[in-house]
Structure 1
Amino acid sequence: MLQSLFIQNYALIDTLDIRFDTGFSVITGETGAGKSIILGAIGLLLGQRADTKAIKKGASRCTIEAHFQIGNYHMEDFFERNDLTYDPECILRREVMASGKSRAFINDTPAPLSLMKELGEMLIDVHSQHQNLLLNTEGFQLNVVDIIAQDAALLTEYGKCFAQYRSSSKALAEAIATAEKNRADEDYIRFQLEQFAEIGLKEGEQEELEQEAETLSHAEDIKSGLYHVDALLAGDEGGILVNLKEAQNRLHDLNSIYPPTEELSERLESCYIELKDIEHEISNQSEEVEFNPQRLDYVNERLNQLYTLQQKHHVDTVAELMSIEQSFQEKLHAITSADDRIAELTAQKEKDYARVMEVAGRLTNVRTEAARRIEKGMKEYLVPLGIPNVQFVVELTPRKEPDAYGADCVNFLFSANKNGVLQNVASVASGGEIARVMLSIKAMIAGAVKLPTIIFDEIDTGVSGQIAERMAHIMQEMGNRERQVISITHLPQIAALGSNHYKVYKQDDEQGTTSHIRQLTPDERVEEIAHMLSGATLTEAAINNAKALLKH
């Protein structure tokens, strides 16, 4: 329940601080006095877009703060789920800076605007005249049916099933599209794999071939160089090994007369053995290296095959080519196994569809029951509201395909005449009839949902007299200890039935024009309603009439 509203530096408002009570309250005031400004401020608490033009001229920011009593509405889960501190007195605050920045707070904790909007819609419902346009939209009508059906749990179950069905449908569509594309590429893929098969890639082959080509291309230089080194090491005249062996023998001969030469002799022997081994290996390699033109041609041809394939596929290594070959093999496998995969996904989609339709059928059943209750309830409301021969039908027809909200199309059909042709409600109802239809729908919704506060902005448009009084009685019945109803009205019959009466008015001073709101005393109510009856000039008859309305 809305306990208080504080507005500062918003449009024509300097500072406004007003408290509200339970039950049915009315707000009156001349056109342009600022009633829409107050609704605009409340709209900011409901997550509406902030416009810096709404900040009062000369101010750096505007602030809107509302206090709600939520102790009776079991909202603890919402606060726990969103990591917010729960308090039976909930405070929503919105600040809009002249720079264009905006901040939202829930119980003095900064919160995303989307979260404030979600909470605000649980606390307060503002029905403005433009909402009457929603009456002919299927989404609004279906929402009304679901609220009366109280099928939230079933809708959640359906939503999960539909999400699974949509996922399997998407997977199947993608698999079919991929299969069609791959089949179009099948000849190309097979041709590429034949080329890879002909070449027969081997890991590390390119590096080995490149080294072999280098060796074969310089075979004579290599062989000549190795032979020369071998001659230096083991030549009969002046070879290193001959001289080293002779030096080692000389040192060995000195061992008996000069002991330090023993270690030197052993070290030279080690060198000799190592060099002898090196010379032997050089000699063998010298024998192995041969100039083989045929082998060089083969190696170069093989390398050219590899290089050509790499250039074709824009890679630099055999490893990358092997990866591409693997990819082609996987694509070919996907093509050959696509039918099995598509069959599997088709079966899954059909299973998910059957589940969707099963839950949708249950949803249709509870909606059908709710539709009959709505039809009965609308007649009970509308007949006393001056439409004695009303026909109101909630038409449920199956959709061609289920959507995210079920398998039902909903259409509200209306006729004010006994034998009139039923047509879409917004197409045939007059402005006054639409107002009465919307009030009746809101009254039924209020009975099904524990919504703390409902604000009607001129719901009485197009009606007057006794019908307006009956509409006021409906709003009066909607307001109780657990719900408050606030009606912004221009009709004295409605204003007189409010438990609390607030007036919006403007004042002019040297600084400019400002809007204000205050709760009227009993005497002030008589005067305000008398003005609503007779206009600017108060007459004795108007005062007496106002007193009679209030007394009644």
Structure 2
Amino acid sequence: MLTSLTVKQFALIEKAQLELESGMTVFTGETGAGKSMLVDALGAVFGARASSDWVRHGAEKAEVIAIWDGEDVRINALLDEQEIELEDELILRRLISRDGRSRAYINGTPVALKLLQQLGAICLDLHGQHEHQILMQPGFQRSLLDARVSDQLRQAVKVACEQWRQMKSRLHDLQSERGQSEQQAAWMREQLKALQLLELEPGIGDALQAEVEAGRHHAQIQHSANQALQLLDEAEPSARQLVAKAGHEVAAAAPYHAGLRTAAELIDQIDALLGELTPELSALLDDSFDEAQLRRNEERLMQLFEAKRRHGTDEDGLILLIEQWQEQLSQLDTAGWDEASLSKALDEAKNQFVKAAQALTEARTACGAELSDALRPFMDRLSLAGMQIRFSVTANAQQETAWGVDGWDSVTMQVMSNPGEPWRDLAAVASGGELSRLVLALKGCGLLSDMPHIAVFDEVDTGIGGETAWCVGELLAAMGSERQVLVISHLPQVASCANHQVVISKHEQEGRTVTQLRAVEADQRLQEISRMLGGIDDESSRHAEIMLARGRAVRAL
């Protein structure tokens, strides 16, 4: 809650400091005393757009300091993001210069104005504007009904909607993919057929290249093999004969020297290798030349080179491409079955959503009637007896674009100002005072509980009096039991219900008008209530005592 407010050189306020407490605090004073300046000061310290009019004439700058004391995880998160040290108190400071520029500080750290505004959304409901503005939003009006609808119904709609959207998205993706893939599939099939004709396998390129080279040089291979065989076996002397003779010579003296024994072993190995070489060369002489096979190998090798160039990969990459294309084409072949299955699933999901949304529409309609009836007693007490209110629930069943996790309903609060008049949207006809009292009526029904910590009401009692004023005061006091409530009022009934009272007055000082704020208690408060009743005399004092006693009784409830 707000524990302290200091205002310096702000409009007609030269300097004022207020210590604020929990519950309901009422600000009273003569008309024109400057009660609205307090509202402006609160707005300034919570990030309202600066105005040079806020700076007191003759001063260089205006200053507003507010001290906030309380725990809120949202506030802690905001400060943590800005690396502002968390302390027991939150000190907000706003300086406004004569040219309209301003600076903002939190716990002594300069901050952007946006941060004050974010804190204001959490802490301050200024002028009741948060409730008033949000009350006119269709989404919030729907939430008033949803607060009375079972969680199970709303959850069923959410789950059904998410399932419907998922099925719709998957079917759309499949259909888009099929449409885009028809030409690609034809191309893949053509390329796949060409690659399959190459009969690809690991190392096929090197093998083909070797066969082509052997075919192209067949005559040279035959000649070389024949000459080698003659030198090895048929020449006089042949290579094998010479090796054998060398071995015989070495073997004769080998027992006498280790080097000769090694030489003898090596000659034996050479003789063995020459024996293996002869069959290899003979086999080449038996190999017949197949020119047609050479041409087939050359063509296949050329196609392999072209495929690698076209697809920008090697042989292993081509083999992988074949596998991938075969899988993709298989998926495309079964896509028709998948589309039929998804279409069926989409119809089922749509039916589930329609069923859940219809149930939610019926529940909202019933809750709207119940809430209208529940509001009636409070509206009668708040001088809104002539106003009829209803919740118009329209199911947009034929507009899928309106379907969502909250159903398909458009909910609008409508009012009939007088019997026989047409129903009109609340936002179009309700005045600020009527909206303020309607907020109180909703609060009396147990709604609007998730609001900022501080509520400021400046026009809630406009145009009312008597028992209606007492009702407003009672409801504001009840609200003060849950959050801090600041009320600017000219009605003694409302003032009597407050926990605390501050008098705003103005007087002339050294030729200048000065506004002062003064907390009053006991006799001073009795005197202020008497003034609000029309005059300070014995009769007014007795009446004021009765009203303050009634206010104490209201707060004790």
**Same fold judged by TM-score > 0.5?**
yes
Please tell me whether residue 305 in structure 1 is matched to residue 320 in structure 2: no
Identity of aligned residues (%): 17
* Higher mean C-alpha displacement, 180-189 vs 401-410: 180-189
Aligned to 1:430: 431
Query: Where does residue 141 of structure 1 map in the other structure?
Result: 141
1:406 corresponds to: 407
Aligned match of 2:97 = none
Is the deviation greater in 157-166 or in 167-176?
157-166
Give the unaligned 5+ runs of structure 2. Answer: 78-86, 93-104, 508-513, 548-557
Bigger mean CA offset, 291-300 vs 420-429: 291-300
1:473 aligned partner, one-letter code:
G
Which stretch of structure 1 is more off in the superposition, 274-283 or 285-294? 285-294
Give 1:242 deviation, angstroms. Answer: 4.3
Deviation readout 1:86-132 (Å, 9 max, x if unpaired): xxx9987887543759999xxxxxxxx99x99xx86x8866633653
* Secondary structure at the counterpart of residue 479 of structure 1: helix
Deviation, 1:390, is 1.9
Deviates more, 1:522-531 or 1:316-325: 522-531
Does residue 395 of the first structure (1) align with residue 407 of the second (2)?
no
Give deviations 1:157-188, integer Å, cap 9, x for gaps.
43233222221221122122223333465544
Task: Report the alpha carbon displacement of residue 358 of structure 1 after superposing the two structures with TM.
Answer: 3.8
Q: Name the residue aligned to 2:245.
A: 246
1:129 aligns with 2:129: yes
What pairs with 1:515-526 in structure 2 (closer than 5 Å)? 519-522=519-522, 525=525
Verify the 8 A CA contact 2:504 2:515 in the aligned structure 1: yes
Structure 2 residue 345 is matched with structure 1 residue 348: yes
**CA spacing shift, 1:405–1:282, aligned 2, 3 Å:** same
How much has 1:342 moved relative to structure 2? Answer: 1.5
Is 2:35–2:488's contact at 8 Å kept on the other side of the alignment? no
Q: Offset at 1:337?
A: 1.7
Change (3 A) 1:66 1:291: farther
Alignment of 1:364 with 2:361, yes or no, is: yes
Q: CA deviation at 1:145?
A: 1.2
Residues 493-521 of structure 1: CA deviation (Å, up to 9, x unaligned): 434431123578999xxxxxx99987444
Q: Which residue of structure 1 lines up, in the alignment, with residue 472 of structure 2?
A: 472
- Counterparts of residues 364-383 of structure 1 (less than 5 Å): 364-383=361-380
Whether the aligned pair in 1 keeps the contact of 2:461 and 2:469 (CA below 8 Å) is no
Cα deviation code 1:393-426 (max 9, x no counterpart): 1122222243111232212110120221111111
Counterpart in the other structure of 1:158: 157
Displacement, 1:348? Answer: 2.1
Give the aligned residue type for 1:33.
Answer: M
1:260 paired residue number:
258
Q: How many residues align?
A: 501
Measured against aligned partners, the alpha-carbon deviations of 1:213-258 in whole angstroms (never above 9, x if no partner) come to 34444556666666677777668468765444333322321245x2
1:282-361 correspondence to structure 2 within 5 Å: 283-284=281-282, 287=285, 293-312=291-310, 314-361=311-358
2:269 is aligned to: 271
Q: 1:516 to 1:274 in 2, by over 3 A?
A: farther
SS at match of 2:341: helix
Q: Which residue of 1 aligns with 2:169?
A: 170
The code of the aligned residue for 2:422 comes to: V
Superposition deviation, residue 366 in structure 1:
3.6
Distance 1:18 1:3 in 2: 9
Aligned pair 1:98/2:95, yes or no?
no
Once the two structures are superposed, residues 436-481 of structure 1 have per-residue CA deviations (whole angstroms, 9 ceiling, x without a partner) of 22332233244x8487945134252754544872463243352365
Equivalent-residue separation in structure 2 for 1:244 and 1:15 (angstroms): 125
Q: Distance in 2 between matches of 1:532 and 1:274?
A: 133
State the SS of the aligned residue for 2:22: coil
Q: CA 1:34/1:443 → structure 2, altered by over 3 Å: closer, same or farther?
A: same
Change (3 A) 1:197 1:463: farther
Distance 2:290 2:132 in 1: 96
Aligned residue identity for 1:66: W
- Hey, what's the Cα distance between the residues in 1 that align with 2:6 and 2:303? 82
Query: In 2 relative to 1, CA 162–459 (structure 1 residues): closer, same or farther, beyond 3 Å?
Result: farther
Distance in 2 separating the partners of 1:15 and 1:410? 46
Residue 501 of structure 1 aligns with which residue? 501
How much has 1:371 moved relative to structure 2? 1.1
Cα distance in structure 2, aligned partners of 1:98 and 1:203 = 70
Indicate if the aligned counterparts of 2:22 and 2:480 stay in contact, CA closer than 8 A. no
1:38 aligns with 2:39: no
Partners of 2:515 and 2:252 in 1: CA distance: 126
Structure 1 pair 480–136 and aligned structure 2 pair: CA distance change class (3 A): closer
Q: Which moved more, 1:183-192 or 1:208-217?
A: 183-192
For residue 67 of structure 1, the aligned residue among 66, 69, 75 is 69
Q: Tell me, what secondary structure is at the counterpart of 1:420?
A: coil
Name the counterpart of 1:85: none
Q: Identify if the C-alpha distance between structure 1 residues 544 and 472 changes in structure 2 by more than 3 Å, giving closer, same or farther.
A: farther
Amino acid at match of 2:391: V
Higher mean C-alpha displacement, 520-529 vs 375-384 = 520-529
8 Å contact 1:172–1:342 — kept in the other structure?
Answer: yes
Contact 2:502 2:519 in 1 (8 A): yes
Q: 1:278 to 1:467 in 2, by over 3 A?
A: farther
CA spacing shift, 1:211–1:548, aligned 2, 3 Å: farther
Give TM-score scaled by structure 2 length. 0.70
Q: Per-residue displacement from partner, 1:134-156 (whole Å, max 9, x unpaired)?
A: 33321011011112x05345434
User: Contact (CA 8 Å) 1:244, 1:268: kept in 2 or not?
Assistant: no
Tell me, in whole angstroms, the C-alpha distance in 1 between the residues paired with 2:287 and 2:67: 95
| Structure 1 unaligned blocks of 5 or more | 80-88, 105-112, 508-513, 534-538
Residue matched to 1:385: 382
1:102 & 1:547 partners in 2: Cα distance?
50
Partner of 1:536: none
Following the alignment from structure 2 to structure 1, what is the Cα–Cα distance between the partners of residues 209 and 450?
A: 83
Q: Deviations over 1:502-552 (max 9, x none)?
A: 578999xxxxxx99987444455567778989xxxxx95599869955752
- Aligned residue type for 1:374: L
Instruction: State the match for 2:204 in structure 1.
Output: 205
Residue pair 1:501, 1:525 contacting (<8 A) in 2 also: yes
CA distance in 2, matches of 1:282, 1:295: 22
* Bigger mean CA deviation after superposition, 31-40 or 293-302: 31-40
Task: Measure the CA separation in 2 of the matches of 1:253 and 1:6.
Answer: 124
Distance (Å, rounded) in 2 between the aligned partners of 1:347 and 1:385:
55
Partner SS for 1:383: helix
Indicate if the aligned counterparts of 1:33 and 1:506 stay in contact, CA closer than 8 A.
no
The verdict on how the C-alpha distance between 1:452 and 1:437 changes in structure 2, with shifts beyond 3 A counting, is closer
- CA separation of 1:391 and 1:275: change in aligned 2, threshold 3 A: same
Contact 1:386 1:467 (8 Å CA) reproduced: no
Q: Which residue of 1 aligns with 2:553?
A: none
